[in-house]
Amino acid sequence: MKKWISIGLAVVLIIGGGIVGWNKFFRQQSASSSNLTQQIRPKMVMTLKKGNLVKSIIASGVVESIESQELYFKTNGTIKSINIAEGAKVSEGQVLMELDNDKQRLEYYKAKNEYERAVINGTQSEVEEAKLNLKIAEDKLEETKLKAPFSGIVNEIGVEEDSYTELDQGKIVAKIIDDSSYQVEVNVDESDSRQLSLGQPARITLEALPGREFAGKVVDIGANAESESGIVTLPVTVSITEKPNFIKPGFSADVEIIVNKIEDRLVVPITAIFSKQGTTKAVQIIDGRPTVVDVETGITNGKQVVVEEGLKSGDKILINTYQFANSGTKDGTEQSKGGMIPGGRMMRGGGR
């Protein structure tokens, strides 16, 4: 008899403990759900609408002129005159410097007189010979003049008046740049290089001109990668398609190369998406309460992600799901760590 009484008491205790446990569990779940609802403030919620997602590669470089040329005299001589200063704007064909050319000038006039006499009194062969000698003398005189090969800015002068210059010295007399077109050469990480193609648009910002953004495009992709300190990169040249006067060679530049652009799609912050048990989820606000829903995501740029399925325009979702990690929601689902997108197609670089 005592044995049966003991067994009965044990059963009662077990059942009682179970009831207490279940009551406690449901109270916790109810309190947790109520707590989540109370935590949701308007600034934590976004209403979905279609937009654009930009996939880009970010790199830095220095502004340089697309065309520049080092200038040399084609003959030896003493610098007689320097007609420009560093920074001067010059036109194609403008005489920048001259050598002492008294000898060449004398030879030219002598050849010219001989040619004129041959035309009057000489035979055909004498005329041809005099004409050739005149051309040679004219070329030698021209060699004493340093002319601008194209319009631009003289950004370096390497000689002084009355100094002597020799061809075999290889000394730069002057340097000219084309100030109508500039470019930036950047180094792109090898892991991003496969996304590059010629003609891709770019956005360029300059440290010297804060708040300004200039349009550009990819005009050259290096044939060979470069390695420095174990980091492998590919040289890429981006031209600046705008031509403002205040851009100068040597300015520091940040370049954003647009490698893809998704338009008119549902785009959400990456913080609005999280993963649980291998599936991608978001927290949708339904009737004012948070509800975990399954979603399918597409391409991402590390800041934003395209939502392919599971949500639609007009739906309201939490912007940041991380704060609800390990908290119950209306449907009793427990959220895991936010910001993880299994299967999402990741893009390196920033987006807008």
pLDDT band at residue 125 under the 50/70/90 scheme: very high
In angstroms, how far is CA 67 from the centroid of its own chain?
21
pTM: 0.67
Cβ neighbourhood burial of 250 (10 Å; 0-12, 13-18, 19+) = exposed
Three-class SS state of 208:
coil
Token pair of 51 as six digits: 């937009």
What stretch of H or E contains 173? Answer: none
Instruction: Please tell me the distance from the alpha carbon of residue 179 to that of residue 286, in angstroms, as a whole number.
Output: 59
Q: Answer yes or no: are the C-beta atoms of 219 and 97 closer than 8 Å.
A: no
Three-class SS state of 155:
strand
Q: Which residues contact 254 (CB under 8 A, 6 or more apart)?
A: 58, 59, 60, 204, 205, 206, 207
Three-class SS state of 9:
helix
DSSP track, 220-264: EE-SS-EEETTEEEEEEEEEE----TT--TT-EEEEEEEEEEEEE
| Residue whose token pair is 């920033």 | 350
CA dihedral (57, 63, 67, 72) in degrees, to 10, reads -140
Three-class SS state of 187:
strand
pLDDT of residue 347: 45
Q: Which domains does the chain have, with CATH numbers?
A: 58-66+181-262 (2.40.30.170), 72-177 (2.40.50.100)
Mean pLDDT over 132-143 rounds to: 96
Mean pLDDT over 29-45 rounds to: 62
pLDDT digits (tens, 9 = 90+) for 148-181: 999 999 999 999 999 998 876 667 899 999 998 9
pLDDT digits (tens, 9 = 90+) for 68-89: 999 999 999 999 999 999 999 9
pLDDT band at residue 341 under the 50/70/90 scheme: low
pLDDT of residue 331: 45
Instruction: Please tell me the distance from the alpha carbon of residue 303 to that of residue 213, in angstroms, as a whole number.
Output: 21
Which range, 94-98, 300-304, 335-339, is most confident?
Answer: 94-98
Residue 12 or 211, more confident? 211
Report the candidate in 26, 22, 32 with the shortest Cα–Cα distance to residue 327.
32
What are the phi and psi torsion angles at 229 (to 5°)? 55, 35
Mean pLDDT over 192-205 rounds to: 96
- Tell me the CA distances in angstroms from 248 to 56, 144, 238, 255, one per residue in order: 25, 31, 15, 16
